[in-house]
Chain A
Amino acid sequence: MSAPAGPAALPDRWSKPRMIRNPVLRWALWLVVAAYIVGTIATLPIDWTRVSEGFSRAARIFGGSIPPNFERSGLLVDGFLESLKIAVLASFGGVLISVPAAFMAARNIAPLPVFYLGRALIIVARSFHPVIVAILFVKAVGFGPLAGVLTLIVYSIGFVAKMLAERIEEIDFGQVEALRATGAPYLSVLFYAIFPQILPRLIGLSIYQLDSNLRASAMIGIVGAGGIGATLANAFGRYDYDFALAITIVIVGAILVSEAISGQIRKRI
């Protein structure tokens, strides 16, 4: 009688199965990755004399910025309120457009062509960095807060519509079927079966987006789309580094505060 083949064939040491079975392929892949990293880093154009000058330049910038100068706090407050208004309006407009967009982009309720259209809208809104979108809007509608609001509306759609569409795809479909079985029209199904299920998520997302719009509105001002970023860019351009530092401190502080507030509100919902 022959010994059972099973245990004898097992190795003494167990090792995790590799992701890529073929060892040649595996090592070749590692080699390619290593070559890419070494190659890219080795060809970085670093001009060390430029860098050593750069450090004194950076020291000058920092030296010029300390202590922060809060003298023109009127300008600071105005810029900040404008950023806040931009963020509020963009969040409102963005959420308003995101709701239908999310319904379009939810696989379980939208017909296939509409679904593709909705997804394409979200993908395009998400792909471009807000600064790029801001440049385009500034060129189209001129400098100022309007360009900022439009930019952040696009930015909000990219995030809110995407997350909301995912939430709609996860709803309990029993309620939709129940309403449909009573012969309810499409809009009634929407309002009584789907909306109550996604509302808490919608509110949470809106508050999160308000917070992140406030953050982004500080950044897009640098390319002329209004708000505190515009004030910051002006201060930097005029070498008012002490005022620029004051603005940066206020931005960081405001972001921390708004993060704390929005965290609190989202916890309660």
Chain B
Amino acid sequence: MTEQDLTTRPAPLREAFPEDWHRYTPRQQMARYLGLLFAALVIGWSITSIDVIWEWVWDAPVQMADLFGRMVPPDTTNLGTILLVLWETVNIATIATLFAVLISLPVAWLAAQNTTPNRATLWLGRIILVSSRSINTIIWALLFVAIFGPGIVAGIAAIMLRSVGFVGKLLGEAIEEIDPRPVEALQATGASRTKVILYAIVPQVMPTFWAVAILRWDINLRESTVLGLVGAGGIGLILQSAIDTFKWQEAATVLLCILGLVLLGEIVSAWLRRRIL
């Protein structure tokens, strides 16, 4: 093949291997530029119209440094109480996760298309999941503080109701993705509905079940650190009172304890995941 042949290649070849290669077609390129332009416009609109006093923005690093300066050194005189309340925080997260997991089992069974008895129950399951997930833990906590009064019980109820949506949704998806053949095999032998669930479905979703439960426990540990701010028990209460009375050094101790707790939670859940899955 000579040089001449290459330049006078047939059209299909030229189209497939153009001399000038572009990653995107002009149309894709255009869409990307438009997307960028749109993003820039939205950001520009936000910056120019947000109700911020700009002097405060430039002043923010100084203020932050001042705040951190006040926190050093952390005051550990109340460490005993702080650790005790930290333990209460762990209990809230653990018990709430336990109940949430138990409740989410039947909900997931309702919300999965292949196990739900009929369309009405499917929608019932979905409504439970959506309403649980779209209301924030803090808002649930406000409600339960009104019912149970301030304290750990309101916290457990809030975290539990919030978790049901999360666990149920992921578990429902796992049920929908199972291999249908074991189910068919059992049905072919004339097994009852309960037996099919116990022997064909449960073993298949077991790994997901543990993974989701551990993940949610980890998340709940973080969530339960702020419950105290609305009076629903746990470490947040001490943090709030330390901040309100400007005891910054004690607040620093509480923050360090929370950091330690979350790190510990992450280590424990990573270990459990390795052992169980």
> A residues touching B (Cβ–Cβ < 8 Å)?
19, 36-37, 40-41, 44-47, 50-51, 54-55, 57-58, 61, 82, 84-86, 88-89, 92, 123-124, 126-129, 131-132, 135-136, 139-142, 144-146, 149-150, 215, 218-219, 222-223, 226, 236, 248, 252, 255-256
A129-B153 in contact (CB<8A)? no
B147-A140 in contact (CB<8A)? no
Q: Which residues of A sit under 8 angstroms from B66, Cβ to Cβ?
A: 140
B51-A144 in contact (CB<8A)? yes
Residue of A nearest to B276 (CB): A19
Identify which of B95, B143, B148 gathers the most chain A CB atoms within 10 Å of its CB. Answer: B148
Q: When the two chains form the complex, which single residue of B98, B240, B263 contacts A37, counting CB atoms closer than 8 Å? A: B98
B153-A145 in contact (CB<8A)? no
Does chain A have a CB within 8 A of B56? Answer: yes
**6 interchain residue pairs of minimum CB distance:** A54-B147, A85-B46, A127-B262, A88-B46, A131-B226, A140-B63
A85-B149 in contact (CB<8A)? no
Q: When the two chains form the complex, which single residue of A45, A58, A252 contacts B134, counting CB atoms closer than 8 Å? A: A252
Q: What is the bound-complex CA distance between A222 and B141, given in angstroms?
A: 13
Interface residues of B in 208-256 (CB under 8 A from A): 222-223, 225-226, 229-230, 236, 239-240, 243, 255
> Is chain B's interface secondary structure helix, strand, loop, or mixed overall?
helix
Q: What is the bound-complex CA distance between A141 and B139, given in angstroms?
A: 25
Binary contact readout B46-57 vs A (1 if CB under 8 angstroms, 0 otherwise): 110111110011
Q: What is the bound-complex CA distance between A50 and B151, given in angstroms?
A: 12
B67-A236 in contact (CB<8A)? no
Does chain A have a CB within 8 A of B175? Answer: no
Name the distance in Å between A4's Cβ and chain B's nearest Cβ: 33
- Can you spell out 8 A-B residue pairs with CB atoms less than 8 angstroms apart? A40-B91, A44-B153, A45-B153, A58-B146, A139-B243, A140-B66, A141-B56, A255-B134
Q: When the two chains form the complex, which single residue of A37, A139, A146 contacts B52, counting CB atoms closer than 8 Å? A: A146
A219-B46 in contact (CB<8A)? no
B60-A140 in contact (CB<8A)? yes
Q: What is the bound-complex CA distance between A132 and B156, given in angstroms?
A: 19
Residue of B nearest to A222 (CB): B138
Q: Which residues of B sit under 8 angstroms from A54, Cβ to Cβ?
A: 146-149
Q: Which residues of A sit under 8 angstroms from B223, Cβ to Cβ?
A: 129
Q: A40-B91, A51-B147, A127-B222 are in contact. Are A92 and B134 (CB under 8 A)?
A: no
A40-B95 in contact (CB<8A)? yes
Q: When the two chains form the complex, which single residue of B91, B142, B222 contacts A236, counting CB atoms closer than 8 Å? A: B142
The count of chain B contact residues (Cβ–Cβ below 8 Å) is 54
Q: Which residues of A sit under 8 angstroms from B262, Cβ to Cβ?
A: 126-128
B50-A89 in contact (CB<8A)? yes
Binary contact readout B63-74 vs A (1 if CB under 8 angstroms, 0 otherwise): 110110000000
Identify which of B45, B91, B135, B236 gathers the most chain A CB atoms within 10 Å of its CB. Answer: B91
B146-A61 in contact (CB<8A)? yes
Query: Can you name 8 extra interface pairs (CB under 8 A) apart from A139-B243, A150-B60?
Result: A40-B95, A44-B156, A54-B148, A89-B50, A132-B236, A136-B67, A140-B63, A146-B53
B46-A89 in contact (CB<8A)? yes
Name the distance in Å between A194's Cβ and chain B's nearest Cβ: 16
Q: A41-B95, A88-B43 are in contact. Are A142 and B259 (CB under 8 A)?
A: no
Q: Which residues of A sit under 8 angstroms from B59, Cβ to Cβ?
A: 141
B275-A19 in contact (CB<8A)? yes
Q: What is the bound-complex CA distance between A88 and B44, given in angstroms?
A: 10
Q: Which residues of A sit under 8 angstroms from B222, Cβ to Cβ?
A: 127, 129
Does chain A have a CB within 8 A of B136? Answer: yes
Q: Which residues of A sit under 8 angstroms from B86, Cβ to Cβ?
A: none
Name the distance in Å between A263's Cβ and chain B's nearest Cβ: 14
Q: Which residues of B sit under 8 angstroms from A57, Cβ to Cβ?
A: 146-147
A219-B136 in contact (CB<8A)? yes
Residue of A nearest to B43 (CB): A92
A82-B143 in contact (CB<8A)? no
Q: What is the bound-complex CA distance between A221 and B42, given in angstroms?
A: 22
Q: Which residues of B sit under 8 angstroms from A128, Cβ to Cβ?
A: 225, 255, 258-259, 262
Q: Which residues of A sit under 8 angstroms from B56, Cβ to Cβ?
A: 141-142, 146
Does chain A have a CB within 8 A of B158? Answer: no
Does chain A have a CB within 8 A of B152? Answer: yes
Q: What is the bound-complex CA distance between A222 and B255, given in angstroms?
A: 20
Q: A145-B50, A248-B139 are in contact. Are A47 and B98 (CB under 8 A)?
A: no
Interface residues of B in 20-58 (CB under 8 A from A): 42-43, 45-47, 49-53, 56-57
Q: What is the bound-complex CA distance between A51 and B151, given in angstroms?
A: 12
A132-B50 in contact (CB<8A)? no
